[in-house]
Chains A and B, each alone.
Chain A
Amino acid sequence: MTITDMPANVPGPRSGEDNGGKLLDVRDLHVEFHTRDGVAKAVNGVNYSVDAGETLAVLGESGSGKSVTAQAIMGILDMPPGKIPQGEIIFRGQDMLKMSSEERRKIRGNKIAMIFQDALSALNPVLSVGYQLGEMFRVHEGLSKKEAKAKAVELMDRVRIPAAKERVSDYPHQFSGGMRQRIMIAMALALEPDLIIADEPTTALDVTVQAQVMELLAELQREYNMGLILITHDLGVVADVADKIAVMYAGRIVETAPVHELYKRPAHPYTKGLLDSIPRLDQKGQGLFAIKGLPPNLLKIPSGCAFNPRCPMAQDECRSEIPALHQVTERDGAELAGRASACHFWKETIHG
């Protein structure tokens, strides 16, 4: 394990296990897709980092680039049409984008694993779940079929699937949605990775099952001291589990903050609008605040700040200049740890 040098502009969160550096550090990542209609810029300079045992929530609407970033980290981006023109993805001090595909294969699944949104389409319908779980051990660790199957049963027990021994030869369609998602989690956990990327892991589930699955995930994360990147659009789920949040809009991070801070005092008009637009369970509000307009087309992202056509605070400056990710400070200039906002008027947004 080598030590990464900390970039000066990103404030340091609590340190990892034994190496003062970060588990994963994404720097200035760009991803674009070359299509017949032009170049779709899905990710435009994303920076974030995760430590061991830490949960980073990446929040954004569809088309904000949150899943594409995750796919780039996993190395499962379709290339072509995808392309990574610049950026670094540093895992334990090494830039994964410079690795050979053989080296990346060793990391994928072994060190970084992913949980997908729709378990039914992510699992192979013609293979039993035991076979699919065991595949991890057979391919990465060279275990025999029999040993792999025993391991699969163990894993299914681990994620609390009842009667794991009897169900190991069942096929994905024989499980309920919540159970399938547990199998996805088991598969991600199989080789005890350092980092798990969960892409909308509970979006397709009912609230009661969602609560079960999120609790399981949180518990396993604590136990293995894993880093977790949780990709979601649900502000409720984020509030429940995240340590820090990165809000994405049109391929950029528009705000980063520790979880408590973000909900109390958003420093970007988009975050503020999102928080105001969700109805509350514990009180009946009057009208909902609605962000006007639509998320931008990635083929023609508005000039300047991508949010400017929908922003109530937009000025001429916002239409011409792309705002940098500013360090957010208190009124008296004291830096707020871990907080940054990509808005020309972040001061007005947070301090009113």
Chain B
Amino acid sequence: MADFSPDAEATPNVSEVEVVDAATEDEAVDAIEAPVERGEPILQVRNLVKHFPLTQGILIKRQIGAVKAVDGISFDLYQGETLGIVGESGCGKSTVAKLLMTLETATAGEVFYKGQDITRLSGRALRAVRRNIQMVFQDPYTSLNPRMTVGDIIGEPFEIHPEVAPKGDRRRKVQELLDVVGLNPEYINRYPHQFSGGQRQRIGIARGLALNPEIIICDEPVSALDVSVQAQVINLMEGLQDEFNLSYIFIAHDLSIVRHISDRVGVMYLGKMAEIGTDTEIYDHPTHPYTQALLSAVPVPDPESREGRERIILTGDVPSPANPPSGCRFRTRCWKAEDRCAKEIPLLAIPERFAGSDSPAAHESACHFAEEKDVVHA
């Protein structure tokens, strides 16, 4: 498989990784337990690739191709920040979440957590990492076991990591967690079906918090909730971030919510990062055509703007990740596409025309013809 590591130089602008060489398991665990200063990178993803094989035949399976769900993405997550990841369904954002959780094994690439490559860890060191990276799932109706009580659901992580809460202490700890997420601690013996969607998502968040993690990966945490309840859960998550000094990776397709909660935002398209920057850079000064199209398609809750606003309506659907277009992956739907786009893969870098300028348009964008265009305020 020669095409696994796509372009070593694809992301020249990410920070240097300080790799920690841990000879023994104890050293590795120590490095993982070490605190990280606020504003320092806590998670560094480098050229991460995940291909799912497509096979043919029943007895003798031949690989006839691969679904390139994630195809070489790199980004940093800093301590205490929220990184939003947006993109259409099928762009690979949930696969990224699974890779960071080490629920899937990466085909190639590295994920450094405090300098340790978690794709190569095992044993106690891997367990320590998993304790520190937790997840909140999308659908609070299916991610909670209906046969377990709330107390068992939130307390289950303690079975695997008994060092966090000794046995006699667990019930009290679970009740504390219920209180933290705004549920009545007396509900500890109830079952999930006795709760509403918003309350269930609070249970999911409490489970994520149980092991005092440093990073929480939220995969569409509010998209299954009613509008009036979404704001409650978002406010809760913001409060918890300040209280426990958490770093969030916030995956969602609702661009308004991502802007609200994120410090930085990455836009994904077909397994690649199209553009990444601070929320102002992405929303007010987008330079990648895909980001511009995505932003202009969002319905704005203000009828005054509906006549004046320019809408970029993309034609067609996202191409199949099993057979992505050559060169720039967005070129089949892009209005700026030229011959060069079919041949050269655009690098995720600060576009040359903005290099050295301190305008907000100078952020990483993977487009040959990157150009600033404000589509949100127009």
Contact = CB atoms under 8 A, between A and B. Distances in A.
B300 A236 contact: yes
A313 B378 CA distance: 36
A291 interface: yes
Contacts of A260: 303-304
A285 interface: yes
B260 A285 contact: yes
A210 B256 contact: no
B317 A240 contact: no
Contacts of A233: 226-227
A61 B299 contact: no
Interface stretch (A7-15, A125-133, A191-199, A272-280): A272-280
Contact of A288 (B260, B280, B377): B260
A274 B238 contact: no
Contact of B317 (A176, A236, A289): A176
A178 interface: yes
Contacts of B219: none
Interface in B349-376: 376
Contacts of B303: 239-240, 242, 259-260, 263
Contacts of B315: 212
Given A208-B314, A233-B226, A295-B226, A288 B299 contact: no
A40 to B, nearest CB: 16
Contacts of B311: 211, 215
A207 B256 contact: no
A211 B301 contact: no
A290 interface: yes
B31 interface: no
A209 interface: yes
Given A61-B226, A208-B294, A279 B256 contact: yes
Nearest to A202: B299
Interface residues on A, range: 35 or more
Contact of A61 (B227, B260, B297): B227
Interface in A171-191: 176-179
Contact of A279 (B228, B260, B299): B260
Contacts of A212: 313-315
Contacts of A282: 283, 300, 376-377
B196 interface: yes
B231 interface: yes
Interface residues of B, number: 44
A102 interface: no
B260 A236 contact: no
B334 interface: no
B36 interface: no
B320 to A, nearest CB: 10
Contact of B227 (A206, A278, A287, A294): A278
B341 to A, nearest CB: 19
Contact of A211 (B297, B306, B377): B297
B13 interface: no
A146 interface: no
A1 interface: no
Given A239-B302, A284-B260, A207 B313 contact: no
Nearest to B279: A284
Contacts of B253: 206-207
Contact of A236 (B228, B294, B301): B301
Interface in B75-105: 88-89
Given A206-B89, A208-B297, A240-B306, 18 more contacts: A61-B227, A176-B317, A208-B313, A209-B317, A212-B315, A215-B313, A239-B299, A260-B303, A263-B302, A275-B301, A278-B227, A279-B259, A280-B301, A281-B259, A284-B280, A291-B232, A294-B196, A295-B228
Interface of A: 61-62, 176-179, 206-212, 214-215, 233-240, 242, 259-260, 263, 273-275, 277-282, 284-285, 287-292, 294-295, 310
